[in-house]
Amino acid sequence: MAEYINGLNPDILKWARERSGYSLEAIAAFLKKGASIINDWESGERAPTYVQLEKLADKYKRPIAIFFFPEPPEEPNIAENLALRSSDNDHLEPRIHFLLRQAHARQLSLMELNLGTNLSAKKIFRDLHAHPLDSATALAQQTRFYFDISIDTQASWQTAAEALENWRYSIEEAGIFVFKEAFQDDSVDAFCLVHDEFPVIYLNNSRPAVRQIFSLFHELAHLLLGENDVTRGISSGSGKIENFCDQFAAEFLVPSDDLKTHLTFSVYNDEVIQELAEHYKVSRPVILLKLVNSGIYTWKSYWQKINQWAKEHERGMKKTKDSKFPSGGSYYNTLATYLGYGFMELAFGKYRQGHCSVEQLAEHLNVKVRHLPQLEDRLLRKALR
């Protein structure tokens, strides 16, 4: 007969569940128990078995030992301070709660690896500051000048994937680390966390490269405004700050003065929009937003077109899911993409200099020690390109 555990702190059971974004009902369904039983565990009237506690620890992504602490550990509740795209009552999926904690842990790793000081030669989050009442166009022009990347250079990149890699490198050179993850939540494109030394941006790697590019600069705008953010898709009319960040990203990636030189078409149909999108390495909705700002499209036409493309995308995704062709890739290449070569180079460099142990290195990179040689191999290959 299974034995029930003594010494658990019921307050931490509740704290861990809530911080992970799960309801009582969700955990009850996960454990195939009644919600009243989970509630009894969290009130201290009953206790789970060790096997049940193991399942909860795995679900909440917490070490088992934490449930025996006298009180919940000090940990910022990042989700409470996020500016959400639609309303303050928007629900964040548990996966996003976990990634927010991971992002905070990455900031702590950056602090430890750099002895508390951002060593980037340029720090855009200090050099440029924004206010929602500022001109998004003026800020975009300032930022363009700051990065010193011309439209000709941008247009010369062969693919959106190459453009994304170059933009990511430029932002990391300016003191902001960019990480990627599979969010497993189709409603969230990206998020960012402010920090005095190490602000970070997280991109949903499940999104197309052009969508990630826009999200990258949308989040950059939030950091220049000095606020945390979770972005739920490209939209307009969803609040002054979100509109500001959308307009900033669109103007940065497709400067109005340059776009005017390309607006020579008699009709702006899907083919023309696609041609302009490929030139600037952006998504079609970004071009459509610029065409609204130029007076070529109305907001009504904009939303009609967006809805049309969304339906076409859903049909395309259904065909992809129904396909029998397998998909996959290298685990280590994917991991390197998620971490970013800048962060990997920093962590491995500190290890080689003797500033951290191999166990600490694995903890910073959030991998097992046995995976480090293969991961370092990806870093060396990148350096030799």
Query: Going residue by residue through the chain (385 aa), what tens digit of pLDDT does each one get?
Result: 467 788 899 999 999 999 998 999 999 999 999 999 999 999 989 999 999 999 999 999 999 999 999 998 888 777 766 644 444 335 788 999 999 999 999 999 999 999 999 999 999 999 998 999 999 999 999 999 999 999 999 999 999 999 999 999 999 999 999 999 999 888 899 999 999 999 999 999 999 999 999 999 999 999 999 999 998 865 544 688 999 999 999 999 999 999 999 999 999 999 999 999 999 999 999 999 999 999 999 999 999 998 998 888 777 766 655 544 444 558 888 999 999 999 999 999 999 999 999 999 999 999 999 989 999 898 888 777 6
Pair of tokens at residue 312: 């076409």
Give me the number of domains the chain comprises. 4
Decide: 94 and 112 in contact? Cβ < 8 Å. Answer: no
200 strand-pairing partners = 177, 193
**Which three-class secondary structure state does DSSP give residue 134?**
coil
Pair of tokens at residue 20: 């992970």
Decide: 118 and 221 in contact? Cβ < 8 Å. Answer: no
Tell me: do 241 and 170 sit in the same domain. Answer: yes
Strand ranges (DSSP E) for the chain?
83-84, 177-181, 190-193, 200-204, 229-231
Query: How many other C-beta atoms are found inside a 10 Å radius of the C-beta of residue 199?
Result: 25
Tell me: do 26 and 151 sit in the same domain. Answer: no
* Domain end position, chosen among 322, 345, 373: 322
Residue whose entry in the numeric block shows the structure tokens 């904690």: 101
Q: Does 4 map to a domain?
A: no
The CA–CA distances, whole Å, from 349 to 123, 294, 343, 344, 352 equal 21, 48, 10, 8, 5
202 strand-pairing partners = 179, 191
Domain that holds residue 301: 257-322
Tell me: do 57 and 137 sit in the same domain. Answer: no
Decide: 141 and 250 in contact? Cβ < 8 Å. Answer: no
Tell me: do 178 and 245 sit in the same domain. Answer: yes
Q: Does 288 map to a domain?
A: yes
Query: Residue 24: which of 35, 40, 33, 16 has the closest Cα?
Result: 35
Tell me: do 192 and 155 sit in the same domain. Answer: yes
